[in-house]
Amino acid sequence: MTYEQVKGFYPKDMGTQKGWCLKNCRVGFHIYSGKYASAKVAMQAGKKNGTYHAGVPPTNISVPVYCDTASIYEHVVVSDHGVWYSDGKKVTTPNNIFGWDEMMDGVRVVKVSNTDNFLPAKGYWGLGDQDVRIGKLADFMYKTFPAYTSKKALGNYMGKFLQSSIREFQKRTGLYQDGCVGKITYAELQKYGFKY
């Protein structure tokens, strides 16, 4: 199953108040009012509404993760594309992970992605986006247009190297050169053999 980020996580904004893990994580997602009293209650709500998943989350999204730590029972941390944050600090992968949720304190942060749809919910891929679908695009660009696609463009991240390659593709095919991949650029890429 593939998941798509619908609400971003901002590690630098994450709260640091001791004993307030749920609030600290919520603020990192720019959610300023809470629905649940504790991580335990939020986890139970996720189980009840079907958004909770046992085990470690995929690394292409940012989600709340519930775990049992040595000092705090049923603590919530955030996995941000495989990098872990607890109370505003980067940490190692926690032990005793119970599972993760598509919701952060009652607000949806990721959703199941239609794997047939290459474009995200917002309608385009732009600078800074990260997803496995971007990895497929980068691989296609590198193999199909090596003259203007650097090896540095490879990966699941829409960075400056991939964006530069997309701009060159748009220039050569007479499209608007914004470096983003929306419906028009995607349709043109399909004419050159890109399949998702």
Q: Provide φ and ψ at 18, rounded to 5°.
A: -60, 140
pLDDT at 68: 83
Global pTM reads 0.62
Domains of the chain from N-terminus onward:
3-112 (3.90.1720), 132-191 (1.10.101)
Kindly state the average pLDDT of the residues 172-186: 95
Contact 8, 29 (CB under 8 A): yes
For 129-170, the pLDDT digits (tens) are 988 889 999 999 999 999 999 999 999 899 999 999 999 999
pLDDT at 71: 57
**Rounded CA gap, 67 and 72, in Å?**
9
pLDDT at 70: 60
Helix%, strand%, coil% for the chain, nearest 5: 30, 20, 50
Residues in the chain: 196
State the DSSP H helix or E strand holding residue 104, giving kind and residue range, or none if neither: strand 103-104
